[in-house]
Amino acid sequence: MTQSPPLSEPTRAVRKVHKPSLGDRLAEQIPRLVVSPTMLIAVVFIYGFMIWTVVLSFSTSRILPRYEFIGWQNYQRLFGNERWMVALTNLGIYGVLFVVICLAIGLLLAILLDQKIRAEGFLRTVYLYPMALSFIVTGTVWKWLLNPSVGIQRFGRELGFENFRFDWLVSSDMSIYTVVIAAVWQSSGFVMALFLAGLRGVDDSIIKAAQIDGASRITVYTRIIIPSLRPVFFSAIIMLAHIAIKSFDLALALTGGGPGYSSDLPAIFMYQFSFTRGQMGVGAASAVIMLMGVMAILIPYLYSELRVKKDDR
Amino acid sequence: MANLYIDNVHKSFGETHILKGIDMDIADGEFIILVGPSGCGKSTLMNCIAGLEQVTTGRVIIDDEDVTQSMPKDRDIAMVFQSYALYPNMNVWKNIAFGLEIRKLPKEEIEETVGRVADLLQIRDLLKRKPSQLSGGQRQRVAMGRALARDPKIFLFDEPLSNLDAKLRVEMRTEIKKLHQRLGTTIVYVTHDQIEAMTLANRIAVMKEGHIQQFGTPQEVYDNPANQFVAGFMGSPSMNFIRCQVVDHQGDATIAMSVDGKDFHLPIPQQEKGVRERVGQEVVLGIRPEQITDVVPQQEQASTLANVDAEIIVTEPTGADTLTLIRMNDQEVNCRVHPARAGAPGDTMTFMINMDKAVFFDLASGDRI
Amino acid sequence: MTVKHSNRRYSEITGRAVLYAILIIVAIYYLIPLVIMISTSFRDMNDIRFGHLIDLPSSFSFEAWRMAWSEVQIGARRQLGLRPYFINSLLITIPAVTISVILGAVNGYVLSFWRFKGSNIFFALLLFGCFLPFQAILLPQATVLGKIGLSGTIPGLVLTHVVYGVAFTTLFYRNYYVSLPGELVKAAQLDGAGFWRIFWRIILPLSTPITVVAVIWQFTQIWNDFLFGVAFSSPQSQPVTVGLNNMVNSSTGEVRYNVDMAGAIIAALPTLAVYVIAGKYFVRGLTAGSVKG
């Protein structure tokens, strides 16, 4: 109907030109219609709200949102706040230790489990089950285990070590490390699962070739297998860093951010300033900083991920 | 049963132009083979015919009806895919009946059609099985059965045999040919396999970079390639291309050739007038391996023949013939020699070059002269 | 020769022994909190006060469980125990999982087989939603829930979980569907089937494994959620994680560890049960988000 053949070509006699019916035209739009609710969600609830939070962070909002803008004042107040600086420092300590220890334990366990172990399925289940628990449950349990007067410290003393001390939970200097202990307990099995999947994906013939070349088992691991797990390291670090930045429930249940605010984390800070202390502007500013942190980690990751995916078609 | 007319079809994905003006006029009942290197647009063209992709411009006309804007379901086309695309969750019976059920055929008719197709393809025993319980050859049959049951106007085959082992492929090839002779339905068939192309096709379309390079009968395409690409693509082992010069030798235009340091002249067939006019220029001589053989005495007198002594570099016995590599004009040339008369690498042997079917291409454009 | 050979055997056996020893010790480390949690929940307070941390219980009772489930006073709530919180969690989790999984399935179907201009960009935008730190949307979401009258209600929490879960379910289904041959859909189109029929008759019957993964993932995420639960709920709609936290932190007088532990187990039981029953799929969900699939 719209497309006429080029003039140079002889026009072919056609009995009938099929035009798309109304139903066909509607059918063509179904895919777009079907994803439109989700598209709305993405645009409004994810990106719209992110921008909204940024807007709030420049406003005078306290208990309720108010749209009078005060420039960078909330950020100045945020970074002038000793508690926020403690929370950031804690996140640094916690984040680095959590990621490094989880990677080390996860990789070690995965390699050990990869030695044709008899009860592998059972052991894997045991290592991974904490991941099914909520951080609140983990926090509750470890809060009790780490409580000096009833938990591990008392147990040690009862065994006869009169001077055994393990009171990090109630020590301002050490409380953040208890969060690390509980978080590692919960998440290291997950890293193990990631690495194990990666190890199982390593091409067997490469390993055989290396063995024929005379490489010892340790050399095979350090020189061939572990380097080939680079993408797994990459995604494990992303996932763990992401968990660390979002960490909220675990610290809240375990230490409540205390003693004092010695084990505070940005997520707790954000929640309390926004919802319980009526400092919405400062809370929004802290949320924006957290968002920036996640983006700084994610954007290189998503970039590389999507570049690979382009080859799909 | 229908004719198929593809009228100046273009297809682009964004800035990537896949089809750049395809014209094909296919008569009712023809068996058309599409060949070409991967990425040449064959599969896109198939999808455009089927309606799975919308053409960017141009028309697709089936049975004298313009279906360019029709949905796949309204085009009455059946397709056999390389991966077979059998529905994994349905048994063979359901797979074959699915298209009929959607078209709301009466139950008895579906039963009857499935039975008929199953008998035709000898898959009656398999009707209750799931695709995962079938061998590759059986899956292939079911995929064909699903297409046959629909009794469509046109069949599209997208490399249907390429996942089968060599023996089954030959069997199925014969079977497809028989089916076509029996049903007479128009078929468009994509393949990589030279022999499939030569044996099955009424006409072959050779594609490259979104253009049809040549569209003709198998023999035409083989003997009279339109350009160097087609010549190199069809035939296995492929045609030898030798860069050489047209020279005047004793008043006649000939090809100057040098083998192992010795110069000699090859005759140019009388019908190649264009080449004869290019004295002094360089051209590409195209000659198939079977035109360079051991000396066959009873043919030796023909005017287009020339004998040449050459050192053998490599031999590759194939059973029926021995492929022998020599050098002409410092370029490697494959020859097809009788196994009993083939020498060993390092030997010098006399080859007979038959220039009767030689073809010539322009050095720059690769077009036939 | 023989000596050398037996030496090697010997070192191999000790090597294996050390390997198993390490693995078992680590397993114990992971298990101990659970074991102590369970054993403590069956002991009475005297036993806990005077016995050891790890000890065979000298007493055995369901008292702590009963207390945690239906008798302990949590905050100023009129109804006692974790039971109402547990029911809230069910009322939030079941619809939220159902809706987000259905949306994810059809989204994945479109993004794999019915791509349109911009669908890849849409997917990339959505992918970021999987990593969004929820703090960045907490304040606007609270405002919007208030505006549409869902503040502090169970439907409000369901909406929130659906909205922020759909990115994950879409990712799961999309990555699964792109691994299916696209020719299936083409074949079905030529057979005359339309968008929905292909989904129902061809694609959905093939989706069981990924549906299990998506359901388990969403169930675990939503059941274990604390942030949304504490930020967007009223005392009448709080989920069990919030209930547990309140119970542990607000109980007046003596801390009753046995009740706390029983409460913790109650809160963890549904997800632990899922893990034990369908651990394989649970792991697949965890790794699907990170390893390219």
Contact C186 B52 (CB under 8 A): yes
- The set of chains that have 3 or more CB pairs under 8 A with C is A, B
Residues of B in contact with A14 (CB under 8 A): 61, 64-66
Is residue B314 within 8 A of residue B362, CB to CB? The reply is no
Task: Say if residue A194 is in the same domain as residue A260.
Answer: yes
Given B203, B233, B263, the domain boundary residue is: B233
Q: Please tell me which of A64-68, A301-305, C11-15, C139-143 the model is most confident about, judged by mean pLDDT.
A: C139-143
Per residue in B95-135, pLDDT (tens digit) is: 999 999 998 999 999 999 999 999 988 899 999 999 999 99
- The set of chains that have 3 or more CB pairs under 8 A with B is A, C
Q: How far apart are CA B238 and CA B235, in angstroms?
A: 5
Task: Say if residue B160 is in the same domain as residue B252.
Answer: no
> Residue C64 carries which side chain, given as an amino acid letter?
A
Q: Which two tokens stand for residue B132?
A: 């995962």
Establish if A17 touches chain B: CB-CB under 8 angstroms: yes
* Å between C208 CA and nearest CA of chain B: 11
Given A57, A83, A107, the domain boundary residue is: A57
3-state secondary structure of B335: strand
Output the pLDDT for position A3.
Answer: 43
Contact C106 A35 (CB under 8 A): yes
In sequence order, the β-bridge partners of residue B307 are B352
Residues of A in contact with C290 (CB under 8 A): 194, 235-236, 238-239
Contacts of A120 (CB under 8 A, 6+ apart): A113
Is residue C139 within 8 A of residue A284, CB to CB? The reply is yes
Task: Say if residue B82 is in the same domain as residue B221.
Answer: yes
Contact B64 A20 (CB under 8 A): no
Residues of B in contact with A7 (CB under 8 A): none
Candidates C212, C204, C96, C98; CA nearest to C156 is: C96
**Chain A CA closest to residue C263:** A137
Q: Let me know how long chain A is.
A: 313
Output the pLDDT for position A296.
Answer: 87
Q: How far apart are CA A154 and CA A162, in angstroms?
A: 9
Residues of C in contact with B103 (CB under 8 A): 192
What is the tally of structural domains in chain A?
2
Confidence of residue B300 (pLDDT cuts 50, 70, 90): low
- Does A221 have pLDDT greater than 90? no
Task: Say if residue B178 is in the same domain as residue B279.
Answer: no
Per DSSP, the residues of C60-72 read --SHHHHIIIIIS
**Chain A CA closest to residue B73:** A24
Contact C191 B88 (CB under 8 A): no
Task: Say if residue B211 is in the same domain as residue B297.
Answer: no
Contact C187 B81 (CB under 8 A): yes
User: Is B186 within a domain?
Assistant: yes
Domain that holds residue B68: 4-233
What is the rounded average pLDDT of the residues C153-179?
90
Contacts of B74 (CB under 8 A, 6+ apart): A18, B51, B67
User: Is A63 within a domain?
Assistant: no
Output the pLDDT for position C251.
Answer: 55
Task: Say if residue A26 is in the same domain as residue A139.
Answer: no
Tell how strand B31-35 and strand B186-190 pair up.
parallel
- Does C237 have pLDDT greater than 80? yes
Residue environment code for A148-178, b if the CB has 16+ CB neighbours within 10 A, otherwise e:
bebbbbbbbeeeeeeeeebbbbebeeebbbb
Output the pLDDT for position C43.
Answer: 78
What is the rounded average pLDDT of the residues A297-306?
75
Q: How far apart are CA A298 and CA A301, in angstroms?
A: 5
Three-state SS string across chain A, please?
A: CCCCCCCCCCCCCCCEECCCCHHHHHHHHHHHHHHHHHHHHHHHHHHHHHHHHHHHHCECCCCCCCCCECCCHHHHHHHHCHHHHHHHHHHHHHHHHHHHHHHHHHHHHHHHHCCCCCCHHHHHHHHHHHHHCCHHHHHHHHHHHCCCCCCHHHHHHHCCCCCCCCCHHHCCCCHHHHHHHHHHHHHHHHHHHHHHHHHHCCCHHHHHHHHHCCCCHHHHHHHHHHHHCHHHHHHHHHHHHHHHHHCCHHHHHHCCCCCCCCCCCHHHHHHHHHHHCCCHHHHHHHHHHHHHHHHHHHHHHHHHHHHHHHHHC
Task: Say if residue B327 is in the same domain as residue B257.
Answer: yes
- Does B324 have pLDDT greater than 50? yes
What is the tally of structural domains in chain B?
2
CB–CB contacts below 8 A, A to B: 44
Contact C191 B79 (CB under 8 A): no
Establish if A18 touches chain B: CB-CB under 8 angstroms: yes
- Does B361 have pLDDT greater than 70? yes
Pick the residue with more confidence: C15 or C156? C156
Task: Say if residue B33 is in the same domain as residue B166.
Answer: yes
Output the pLDDT for position A8.
Answer: 44
Task: Say if residue A36 is in the same domain as residue A83.
Answer: no
* Å between B202 CA and nearest CA of chain C: 25
Contact A150 C48 (CB under 8 A): yes
Given B182, B204, B233, the domain boundary residue is: B233
Output the pLDDT for position B10.
Answer: 92
Per residue in C245-284, pLDDT (tens digit) is: 888 877 566 677 788 888 889 989 999 898 888 877 777 7
Contact B146 C189 (CB under 8 A): no
User: Is B367 within a domain?
Assistant: no
Q: How far apart are CA B262 and CA B329, in angstroms?
A: 10
Output the pLDDT for position A11.
Answer: 59
Task: Say if residue B223 is in the same domain as residue B246.
Answer: no
Residues of C in contact with A123 (CB under 8 A): 23, 27
Output the pLDDT for position A51.
Answer: 92
What is the rounded average pLDDT of the residues A24-42?
87
User: Is A5 within a domain?
Assistant: no
Output the pLDDT for position A1.
Answer: 38
User: Global pTM?
Assistant: 0.85
Could you say which architecture CATH assigns to the domain C70-288? Orthogonal Bundle (1.10)
Q: How far apart are CA A297 and CA A310, in angstroms?
A: 21
Candidates B46, B9, B181, B25; CA nearest to C190 is: B46
Establish if A310 touches chain B: CB-CB under 8 angstroms: no
Pick the residue with more confidence: B250 or B222? B222
User: Is B140 within a domain?
Assistant: yes
Residues of chain C that touch chain B, judged by Cβ-Cβ distance less than 8 Å: 181, 183-184, 186-194, 197, 201-202, 205-206
Per residue in A242-251, pLDDT (tens digit) is: 788 878 888 8
Q: What angle do CA A163, A168, A172 make, to 5 degrees?
A: 125
Task: Say if residue A31 is in the same domain as residue A90.
Answer: no
* Å between A146 CA and nearest CA of chain B: 54
* Å between B87 CA and nearest CA of chain C: 7
Question: Considering chain A, what percentage of its residues have pLDDT values greater than 70?
Answer: 93
Given B186, B212, B233, the domain boundary residue is: B233
Residues of C in contact with A36 (CB under 8 A): none
Optimal mutation site among A2, A4, A16, A30, interface B, most CBs of chain B within 10 A: A16
> Residue A54 carries which side chain, given as an amino acid letter?
V
- Does C289 have pLDDT greater than 70? no
Confidence of residue A308 (pLDDT cuts 50, 70, 90): low
Q: Kindly provide the ipTM of the predicted complex, given to two decimals.
A: 0.84
**Chain A CA closest to residue B55:** A3
CB-nearest to B66 from A6, A9, A17 is: A17
Per residue in C183-229, pLDDT (tens digit) is: 999 999 999 998 999 999 999 999 988 898 889 889 988 998 899 98
Sequence ranges of the domains in chain C: 2-65, 70-288
Confidence of residue C292 (pLDDT cuts 50, 70, 90): very low
Question: CATH number of the domain that A259 lies in?
Answer: 1.10.3720.10
- The set of chains that have 3 or more CB pairs under 8 A with A is B, C
Candidates A2, A9, A1, A15; CA nearest to B21 is: A9
Contact B79 C190 (CB under 8 A): yes
Q: Let me know how long chain C is.
A: 293
* Å between A8 CA and nearest CA of chain B: 11
Establish if A5 touches chain B: CB-CB under 8 angstroms: yes
Output the pLDDT for position B77.
Answer: 92
- Does A225 have pLDDT greater than 60? yes
Return the residue matching tokens 């009740």.
C259
Task: Say if residue B77 is in the same domain as residue B212.
Answer: yes
Question: CATH number of the domain that B81 lies in?
Answer: 3.40.50.300
Candidates B244, B248, B280; CA nearest to B358 is: B244
Domain that holds residue A243: 73-312
> Residue C127 carries which side chain, given as an amino acid letter?
L
Task: Say if residue A95 is in the same domain as residue A145.
Answer: yes
Confidence of residue A312 (pLDDT cuts 50, 70, 90): very low
Task: Say if residue B72 is in the same domain as residue B170.
Answer: yes
Output the pLDDT for position C54.
Answer: 66
Q: Which of A3-7, A10-14, B15-19 has the lowest mean pLDDT?
A: A3-7
Candidates A303, A306, A273; CA nearest to A288 is: A273
Is residue A70 within 8 A of residue A64, CB to CB? The reply is no
User: Is A4 within a domain?
Assistant: no
Per residue in B157-216, pLDDT (tens digit) is: 999 888 888 888 888 899 899 999 988 899 999 998 888 899 999 999 999 999 999 999
Residues of C in contact with A141 (CB under 8 A): 33, 36-37, 261, 264
3-state secondary structure of C236: coil
Residues of C in contact with A294 (CB under 8 A): 131-133
Optimal mutation site among A4, A7, A17, A19, interface B, most CBs of chain B within 10 A: A17
Task: Say if residue B183 is in the same domain as residue B256.
Answer: no
Contact A136 C241 (CB under 8 A): yes
Output the pLDDT for position B218.
Answer: 93
Count CB atoms within 10 A of the CB of residue B296.
12
Residues of A in contact with B69 (CB under 8 A): 1, 18-20
Task: Say if residue A308 is in the same domain as residue A202.
Answer: yes
- Does C4 have pLDDT greater than 60? no
Output the pLDDT for position A146.
Answer: 83
